[in-house]
Amino acid sequence: MAKRLYSLIAALLIVGSVSYGQDPHFSQFYANPLYLNPALAGSAVCPRIILNFRDQWPAISGTFVTYSASFDMHIDKIAGGIGVLFMSDRAGEGTIVSNSISAMYAYRLQVSRKFFMKAGAQATFTQKNLNWDKLTFGDQISDRFGFIYNTQELRPSNSDLKKSYADFSAGLLGYGENWFVGFAAHHLTQPEEGFISLSKLPIKFTAHAGAKIVFKNWVTKKGKRRKRDVEDPSISPNILYMHQAKFNQLNYGFYFNKWPFVGGLWFRQSFDNADALIALVGIQQEYFKLGYSYDLTISKLTNVTGGSHEVSFSWQFPCPLKKKRAKIINCPSF
Protein backbone atom coordinates (compact mmCIF):
# COMPACT_ATOMS: atom_id res chain seq x y z
CA MET A 1 0.00 0.00 0.00
CA ALA A 2 1.44 3.33 -1.10
CA LYS A 3 2.35 5.71 1.71
CA ARG A 4 0.61 9.05 1.32
CA LEU A 5 2.93 11.93 2.05
CA TYR A 6 1.34 15.37 2.19
CA SER A 7 3.28 18.54 1.60
CA LEU A 8 4.06 20.78 4.56
CA ILE A 9 1.36 23.24 3.56
CA ALA A 10 -1.30 20.59 3.28
CA ALA A 11 -0.34 19.08 6.61
CA LEU A 12 -0.50 22.39 8.42
CA LEU A 13 -3.65 23.86 6.92
CA ILE A 14 -5.91 21.08 5.71
CA VAL A 15 -5.64 18.74 8.69
CA GLY A 16 -7.13 21.26 11.10
CA SER A 17 -7.68 18.76 13.88
CA VAL A 18 -3.94 18.41 14.58
CA SER A 19 -2.55 21.70 13.32
CA TYR A 20 -3.11 25.39 13.77
CA GLY A 21 -2.38 28.51 11.77
CA GLN A 22 0.08 31.05 13.07
CA ASP A 23 0.68 34.69 12.23
CA PRO A 24 3.65 36.01 10.27
CA HIS A 25 6.20 37.82 12.41
CA PHE A 26 8.58 40.71 11.75
CA SER A 27 12.06 41.06 13.20
CA GLN A 28 11.79 44.85 12.97
CA PHE A 29 8.66 44.79 15.12
CA TYR A 30 8.69 48.50 15.99
CA ALA A 31 9.02 49.32 12.28
CA ASN A 32 5.55 47.81 11.88
CA PRO A 33 3.80 49.28 14.94
CA LEU A 34 0.17 48.78 13.86
CA TYR A 35 0.83 45.07 13.30
CA LEU A 36 2.51 44.78 16.70
CA ASN A 37 -0.15 46.51 18.79
CA PRO A 38 -3.29 48.45 17.75
CA ALA A 39 -2.69 50.80 20.70
CA LEU A 40 0.30 52.19 18.75
CA ALA A 41 -2.01 53.78 16.15
CA GLY A 42 -1.16 57.48 16.07
CA SER A 43 1.94 56.99 18.25
CA ALA A 44 3.99 59.34 16.03
CA VAL A 45 1.20 61.98 16.24
CA CYS A 46 1.78 63.38 12.74
CA PRO A 47 0.54 61.39 9.69
CA ARG A 48 2.89 58.63 8.53
CA ILE A 49 3.08 55.85 5.95
CA ILE A 50 5.03 52.64 6.65
CA LEU A 51 6.00 49.89 4.18
CA ASN A 52 7.45 46.51 5.21
CA PHE A 53 8.82 43.49 3.34
CA ARG A 54 10.02 40.17 4.74
CA ASP A 55 11.45 37.15 2.90
CA GLN A 56 11.84 34.20 5.28
CA TRP A 57 13.99 31.18 4.41
CA PRO A 58 14.67 32.08 0.75
CA ALA A 59 17.13 29.19 0.26
CA ILE A 60 14.52 26.44 0.68
CA SER A 61 11.47 25.50 -1.34
CA GLY A 62 8.29 27.04 0.02
CA THR A 63 9.66 30.37 1.20
CA PHE A 64 7.42 32.74 3.18
CA VAL A 65 7.10 36.28 1.80
CA THR A 66 5.13 38.96 3.65
CA TYR A 67 4.24 42.53 2.65
CA SER A 68 2.51 45.21 4.68
CA ALA A 69 1.54 48.87 4.25
CA SER A 70 0.01 51.13 6.88
CA PHE A 71 -1.12 54.68 7.53
CA ASP A 72 -1.83 56.26 10.90
CA MET A 73 -2.11 59.64 12.65
CA HIS A 74 -3.33 61.27 15.86
CA ILE A 75 -6.53 63.36 15.78
CA ASP A 76 -7.15 65.73 18.69
CA LYS A 77 -10.92 65.91 18.12
CA ILE A 78 -11.36 62.20 18.79
CA ALA A 79 -8.70 62.08 21.54
CA GLY A 80 -6.71 59.33 19.89
CA GLY A 81 -5.09 57.83 16.84
CA ILE A 82 -6.52 56.07 13.80
CA GLY A 83 -4.81 53.58 11.52
CA VAL A 84 -5.26 51.38 8.46
CA LEU A 85 -3.11 48.29 7.82
CA PHE A 86 -2.86 46.16 4.66
CA MET A 87 -1.18 42.73 4.84
CA SER A 88 -0.31 40.14 2.21
CA ASP A 89 1.38 36.83 3.06
CA ARG A 90 2.52 34.21 0.53
CA ALA A 91 3.44 30.79 1.94
CA GLY A 92 4.93 27.92 -0.04
CA GLU A 93 5.67 30.04 -3.13
CA GLY A 94 2.06 31.10 -3.36
CA THR A 95 0.47 27.82 -2.29
CA ILE A 96 -1.44 29.76 0.35
CA VAL A 97 -2.02 33.49 -0.08
CA SER A 98 -3.55 35.58 2.70
CA ASN A 99 -4.67 39.19 2.24
CA SER A 100 -6.16 41.35 4.97
CA ILE A 101 -7.16 44.91 5.74
CA SER A 102 -7.48 46.31 9.28
CA ALA A 103 -8.90 49.50 10.73
CA MET A 104 -8.03 50.61 14.25
CA TYR A 105 -8.55 53.34 16.81
CA ALA A 106 -6.41 54.04 19.89
CA TYR A 107 -7.77 56.27 22.65
CA ARG A 108 -5.17 58.36 24.49
CA LEU A 109 -5.46 59.19 28.19
CA GLN A 110 -3.13 61.50 30.10
CA VAL A 111 -2.88 60.02 33.60
CA SER A 112 -0.34 62.51 34.92
CA ARG A 113 2.08 65.10 33.59
CA LYS A 114 4.59 62.42 32.56
CA PHE A 115 2.50 59.27 32.27
CA PHE A 116 0.11 58.41 29.42
CA MET A 117 -1.96 55.39 28.43
CA LYS A 118 -3.47 54.25 25.15
CA ALA A 119 -6.16 51.62 24.53
CA GLY A 120 -6.58 50.33 20.99
CA ALA A 121 -9.23 48.31 19.14
CA GLN A 122 -8.83 46.66 15.74
CA ALA A 123 -11.22 45.13 13.21
CA THR A 124 -9.81 42.99 10.39
CA PHE A 125 -11.16 41.32 7.27
CA THR A 126 -9.04 38.47 5.87
CA GLN A 127 -9.26 36.40 2.70
CA LYS A 128 -7.21 33.21 2.21
CA ASN A 129 -6.74 31.27 -1.01
CA LEU A 130 -5.29 27.76 -1.41
CA ASN A 131 -3.73 26.88 -4.79
CA TRP A 132 -4.50 23.15 -5.07
CA ASP A 133 -2.35 22.77 -8.20
CA LYS A 134 0.79 23.57 -6.20
CA LEU A 135 0.24 20.78 -3.67
CA THR A 136 2.08 17.46 -4.04
CA PHE A 137 1.00 14.04 -2.72
CA GLY A 138 2.65 10.71 -2.01
CA ASP A 139 0.85 8.83 -4.81
CA GLN A 140 2.57 11.05 -7.39
CA ILE A 141 6.04 9.72 -6.48
CA SER A 142 7.96 7.06 -8.41
CA ASP A 143 10.80 5.36 -6.51
CA ARG A 144 13.07 5.87 -9.53
CA PHE A 145 11.83 8.98 -11.31
CA GLY A 146 10.28 11.17 -8.62
CA PHE A 147 7.02 13.06 -9.23
CA ILE A 148 5.67 11.58 -12.47
CA TYR A 149 2.16 10.31 -11.63
CA ASN A 150 -1.18 12.09 -11.40
CA THR A 151 -2.65 12.16 -7.93
CA GLN A 152 -5.86 10.32 -7.10
CA GLU A 153 -6.78 12.94 -4.49
CA LEU A 154 -10.15 14.54 -5.26
CA ARG A 155 -9.91 18.23 -5.99
CA PRO A 156 -12.18 20.27 -3.70
CA SER A 157 -14.63 22.78 -5.12
CA ASN A 158 -13.38 26.31 -5.72
CA SER A 159 -15.45 27.56 -2.79
CA ASP A 160 -13.59 25.17 -0.46
CA LEU A 161 -10.27 26.65 -1.60
CA LYS A 162 -11.21 30.15 -0.43
CA LYS A 163 -11.84 31.37 3.07
CA SER A 164 -12.95 34.80 4.30
CA TYR A 165 -13.55 35.92 7.86
CA ALA A 166 -13.74 38.92 10.18
CA ASP A 167 -11.41 39.24 13.14
CA PHE A 168 -11.02 41.52 16.17
CA SER A 169 -8.04 42.51 18.33
CA ALA A 170 -7.20 44.89 21.18
CA GLY A 171 -4.17 46.40 22.86
CA LEU A 172 -2.97 48.54 25.77
CA LEU A 173 0.05 50.80 26.09
CA GLY A 174 1.59 52.81 28.91
CA TYR A 175 4.49 55.20 28.41
CA GLY A 176 6.47 57.92 30.07
CA GLU A 177 9.37 60.17 29.15
CA ASN A 178 11.86 57.42 28.27
CA TRP A 179 10.07 54.09 28.70
CA PHE A 180 7.04 52.17 27.44
CA VAL A 181 5.25 48.87 28.05
CA GLY A 182 2.48 47.31 25.96
CA PHE A 183 0.19 44.31 25.66
CA ALA A 184 -1.93 43.10 22.74
CA ALA A 185 -4.35 40.23 22.11
CA HIS A 186 -5.03 39.39 18.45
CA HIS A 187 -7.80 37.11 17.10
CA LEU A 188 -10.03 37.50 20.15
CA THR A 189 -12.92 35.83 18.32
CA GLN A 190 -10.71 32.93 17.11
CA PRO A 191 -12.09 32.94 13.56
CA GLU A 192 -12.53 29.73 11.61
CA GLU A 193 -9.86 29.58 8.86
CA GLY A 194 -9.80 25.91 7.80
CA PHE A 195 -10.24 25.16 4.11
CA ILE A 196 -11.67 21.65 4.36
CA SER A 197 -11.80 20.72 8.05
CA LEU A 198 -12.44 22.97 11.04
CA SER A 199 -9.43 24.97 12.21
CA LYS A 200 -9.72 27.99 14.50
CA LEU A 201 -7.04 30.66 14.51
CA PRO A 202 -5.66 30.75 18.08
CA ILE A 203 -5.43 33.98 20.05
CA LYS A 204 -2.00 35.59 19.86
CA PHE A 205 -0.79 37.34 23.00
CA THR A 206 2.02 39.89 22.76
CA ALA A 207 3.86 41.73 25.53
CA HIS A 208 6.58 44.27 24.79
CA ALA A 209 8.59 46.83 26.74
CA GLY A 210 11.60 49.05 26.34
CA ALA A 211 13.42 52.18 27.35
CA LYS A 212 15.62 54.87 25.84
CA ILE A 213 18.86 55.87 27.54
CA VAL A 214 20.39 59.11 26.25
CA PHE A 215 24.15 59.43 26.66
CA LYS A 216 24.55 63.15 26.18
CA ASN A 217 24.45 65.43 29.22
CA TRP A 218 21.11 67.26 29.44
CA VAL A 219 22.54 70.00 31.64
CA THR A 220 24.20 73.04 30.02
CA LYS A 221 27.30 74.77 31.31
CA LYS A 222 25.08 77.38 32.96
CA GLY A 223 23.33 74.67 34.98
CA LYS A 224 20.11 74.82 32.99
CA ARG A 225 18.36 71.69 31.76
CA ARG A 226 18.30 71.65 28.00
CA LYS A 227 15.73 69.97 25.77
CA ARG A 228 16.47 66.54 24.39
CA ASP A 229 17.79 66.62 20.83
CA VAL A 230 16.97 63.98 18.23
CA GLU A 231 20.68 63.82 17.39
CA ASP A 232 21.70 62.81 20.93
CA PRO A 233 23.31 59.33 20.92
CA SER A 234 21.25 56.76 22.80
CA ILE A 235 20.74 53.07 23.43
CA SER A 236 17.31 51.41 23.57
CA PRO A 237 17.07 48.01 25.28
CA ASN A 238 13.80 46.20 24.59
CA ILE A 239 12.06 42.86 24.95
CA LEU A 240 9.19 41.16 23.12
CA TYR A 241 7.25 38.03 24.08
CA MET A 242 4.60 36.31 21.93
CA HIS A 243 2.42 33.29 22.65
CA GLN A 244 0.08 31.57 20.20
CA ALA A 245 -1.34 28.06 20.65
CA LYS A 246 1.70 26.01 21.77
CA PHE A 247 4.20 28.42 20.24
CA ASN A 248 6.29 30.82 22.34
CA GLN A 249 8.73 33.43 21.06
CA LEU A 250 11.06 35.69 23.02
CA ASN A 251 13.08 38.54 21.44
CA TYR A 252 15.51 40.62 23.45
CA GLY A 253 18.19 43.04 22.41
CA PHE A 254 18.90 46.71 21.87
CA TYR A 255 19.10 49.55 19.37
CA PHE A 256 21.99 52.03 19.22
CA ASN A 257 21.21 55.45 17.76
CA LYS A 258 23.86 57.84 16.48
CA TRP A 259 22.17 60.27 14.12
CA PRO A 260 21.52 59.60 11.30
CA PHE A 261 22.43 55.92 11.74
CA VAL A 262 20.78 53.16 13.75
CA GLY A 263 22.13 49.73 14.59
CA GLY A 264 20.43 46.86 16.36
CA LEU A 265 21.14 43.37 17.65
CA TRP A 266 18.61 40.85 19.03
CA PHE A 267 18.41 37.22 20.02
CA ARG A 268 15.23 35.26 19.23
CA GLN A 269 14.32 31.98 20.88
CA SER A 270 11.49 29.77 22.03
CA PHE A 271 11.46 28.21 25.48
CA ASP A 272 12.94 25.01 24.03
CA ASN A 273 15.59 26.16 21.58
CA ALA A 274 17.47 29.10 20.10
CA ASP A 275 16.20 30.39 16.77
CA ALA A 276 18.10 33.33 15.30
CA LEU A 277 20.49 36.20 15.83
CA ILE A 278 19.11 39.37 14.24
CA ALA A 279 21.22 42.31 13.05
CA LEU A 280 19.83 45.66 11.86
CA VAL A 281 21.26 48.70 10.10
CA GLY A 282 19.18 51.78 9.38
CA ILE A 283 19.27 55.43 8.45
CA GLN A 284 16.87 58.14 9.56
CA GLN A 285 16.21 61.69 8.49
CA GLU A 286 13.62 64.25 9.48
CA TYR A 287 10.89 62.79 7.27
CA PHE A 288 11.94 59.24 6.37
CA LYS A 289 13.50 56.12 7.87
CA LEU A 290 14.95 53.11 6.05
CA GLY A 291 16.05 49.87 7.71
CA TYR A 292 17.42 46.46 6.73
CA SER A 293 17.73 43.43 9.00
CA TYR A 294 19.00 39.89 8.56
CA ASP A 295 18.07 36.85 10.65
CA LEU A 296 20.99 34.44 11.03
CA THR A 297 19.50 31.02 11.82
CA ILE A 298 21.30 29.34 14.72
CA SER A 299 18.88 26.48 15.38
CA LYS A 300 19.44 22.92 14.13
CA LEU A 301 18.39 24.13 10.68
CA THR A 302 21.64 26.17 10.67
CA ASN A 303 21.72 28.68 7.83
CA VAL A 304 20.73 26.27 5.03
CA THR A 305 17.45 28.20 5.16
CA GLY A 306 19.17 31.32 3.82
CA GLY A 307 18.13 33.22 6.95
CA SER A 308 15.54 35.97 6.56
CA HIS A 309 15.72 39.39 4.94
CA GLU A 310 13.57 42.31 6.03
CA VAL A 311 13.26 45.88 4.77
CA SER A 312 11.24 48.72 6.29
CA PHE A 313 10.52 52.24 5.08
CA SER A 314 8.51 54.99 6.73
CA TRP A 315 7.61 58.50 5.64
CA GLN A 316 6.64 61.04 8.29
CA PHE A 317 4.45 63.91 7.10
CA PRO A 318 4.68 67.25 8.91
CA CYS A 319 1.84 68.10 11.28
CA PRO A 320 -0.57 70.92 10.32
CA LEU A 321 0.70 74.23 11.69
CA LYS A 322 -2.31 74.72 13.98
CA LYS A 323 -2.38 71.13 15.21
CA LYS A 324 -1.87 70.63 18.94
CA ARG A 325 0.93 68.11 19.37
CA ALA A 326 0.18 65.20 21.65
CA LYS A 327 2.93 63.40 23.53
CA ILE A 328 4.99 61.29 21.11
CA ILE A 329 5.80 57.77 22.31
CA ASN A 330 9.58 57.66 22.62
CA CYS A 331 10.03 54.11 21.38
CA PRO A 332 12.36 52.68 18.69
CA SER A 333 11.63 53.15 15.00
CA PHE A 334 12.79 49.75 13.73
Q: Tell me the pLDDT tens digit for each residue of 127-137.
A: 999 887 777 77
Phi, psi (degrees; rounded to nearest 5) at 10: -65, -40
- Structural domain count of the chain: 1
List b or e across 300-314, with b for residues whose CB sees 16 or more CB atoms inside 10 angstroms.
eeeeebebbbbebeb
Whether 329 is covered by a domain: the verdict is no
Does 3 fall in a domain? Answer: no
Share of the chain above pLDDT 90, in %: 53
Q: How many CA atoms lie within 13 A of 318 on its CB side?
A: 4
Residue 330 lies in a domain: no
In this structure, of 8-22, 27-41, 49-63, 194-208, the range with the lowest mean pLDDT score is: 8-22
Residue 2 domain-assigned?
no
Task: List the domain range (segments joined by +) for residue 257.
Answer: 8-316
End-to-end CA distance of the chain: 53
The CATH number given to whatever domain includes residue 193 is 2.40.160.40
Structure confidence at residue 153 (pLDDT): 77
Listed residue (292, 238, 239, 240) closest to 261, CA to CA:
292
Nearest of 234, 232, 243, 160 to residue 198 by alpha carbon: 160
Which amino acid, 241? Y
Is residue 94 pLDDT above 70, yes or no? yes
Categorize the per-residue pLDDT at 93 as very low, low, confident or very high, splitting at 50, 70 and 90.
confident
- For residue 179, is it within any domain? yes
Percent of the chain with pLDDT over 70: 84
Residue range 2-43, pLDDT digits in tens: 333 333 333 333 333 334 557 888 999 999 999 999 999 999
Q: How much is the average pLDDT of 130-153? A: 78
Summarize the confidence of residues 250-270 as an average pLDDT.
93
pLDDT for the residue numbered 136: 77
For residue 197, name the pLDDT band (cuts at 50, 70, 90).
confident
Is 325 domain-assigned? no
Task: Kindly report which listed range (34-38, 221-225, 247-251) carries the lowest average pLDDT score.
Answer: 221-225
Q: Is residue 328 part of a domain?
A: no
Question: For 93, left (φ over 0), alpha (ψ -120 to 50), or beta?
Answer: left
Residue 132 maps to a domain: yes
pTM comes to 0.85
